[in-house]
Amino acid sequence: MTMEAAAEVHQVPLTLPPVIATRHHGFGSSLHTRHERPSCNRFWVVNLISDGEGELELRGQRFPFAHGCALVAPPDLDHFYRFRRPVRKTFMHFHAASGAASAPLPVVQDLGGRFEWFRSAILDGRRLVDAGQPARATALLWHLLWHLLWQLTSGPAGGAQPRHHPVVRALLDHLAEHLAEALDPGALARRLECSPTHLNRLCRAAFGLPLAAYVRRCRVERASHLLQHTTRTVADIAAEVGYADLQHFNKLMRAATGSAPRALRRG
C-alpha cells in the first residue's frame, strides 16, 4: 500500500473497520529520548505526543509538534523523528481495510482539551488487546479515528485550538461524547456549572450561534461525515446524532445542506 505525502493532510481510509497491526503493536505507549533513525512502517501510525516537542520529517517536509498533538504517518513512507526534549508517544498502529474510502486527517493536529481523553482511550485499547478482546479493540480503534476527524470541526487543522472559555471547552468535550442524547439546556448548564443564560452567551461569543443552533450544526456536520464516508444506514446515522425520528432528520439535513441524506451519500 503506497501513498503520496501531502503538505498538510493524509487521506486515511475510514469507511470500513481498520485492522490492528499486531497483538503487541496495535496500541501502546513508549518513551523516546533520542532522535529516531529513518523508518518505514508497513502500517498506519497515529502517535499522541506527551511532554516533549520536536519535528516529524516526511519526504523532506518538517512538521513541528509539541505536547497535546496527534501525528499521523502513512505506511510505506520514510519518516524521521527529531526530539528537542524527551517525548512519550501513545500510539495506534493499524492496516486499512481493502476498499475503504478515505477522509482527510492532518499530519499534525492539536487535540487541545481532548488530548487526555484520546490518550486514555488508546490505553483502553491496549487493555482490550491484552484481555483477548480484539473485536472490541478494533471497534475502539475505528471510533478513535473518526473522532480525530470530528475533532477538526472545533479548531483549525494542524494548528492551535481556539482559546475558548473553560466552560466552552467543557461543552465541546461533552458534545463529542453525548451528541446522540436529547439536549436539555438546564441540565447541561448545571453539568457545566453555569446558568443556561451564561452558557448561551458563551456559545454565541465562541461560535456566533446560540446553544441549540450550535448543537444542531454539530449534528449536521457529524451526520454529513458519516453519510459521505461510511456505509452505515441513514437510520443508524440519524440515531448517532440524536434523531430517532427519521422524517425529522431528513427535514433537518435538507434544510441545513440543501440535500436529503441519500443525496449527500451519493455525493
Alpha carbon 134 to chain centroid, angstroms: 21
Mean pLDDT computed over 137-161: 69
Task: With 0.85 as the threshold, say if the pTM is over it.
Answer: no
42-90, pLDDT tens digit by residue? 999 999 998 888 999 987 888 999 888 999 999 988 888 988 888 899 9
Q: Which cell is 56 given?
A: 516529524
190-207, pLDDT tens digit by residue? 999 999 999 998 888 877
State the angle between helix axes of 246-257 and 211-229 in degrees (0 to 180), rounded to the nearest 10.
100
Alpha-carbon distance 155 to 157, whole Å?
6
Q: Which CATH class is domain 166-266?
A: mainly alpha
Q: Pick one of 3.40.228.10, 2.60.120.280, 3.30.390.50, 1.10.10.10 as the CATH number of 9-154.
A: 2.60.120.280
Reported as a pLDDT band with limits 50, 70 and 90, residue 259 is confident
The DSSP-derived string for 70-111 is EEEE-TT--EEEEEEE-EEEEEEEEEPPTT--EEEEESEEE-
112 or 13: which leads in pLDDT: 13
CA distances from 137 to 96, 129, 145, 231 (A): 15, 6, 12, 20
| Residue tagged 508517544 (cell numbers) | 89
Q: Is pLDDT of 159 > 60?
A: no
Please choose, from the candidates 95, 108, 102, 30, the residue with its C-alpha nearest in 3D space to the C-alpha of residue 68.
Answer: 108
- What residue ranges do the domains of the chain occupy? 9-154, 166-266
Alpha-carbon distance 92 to 30, whole Å?
12
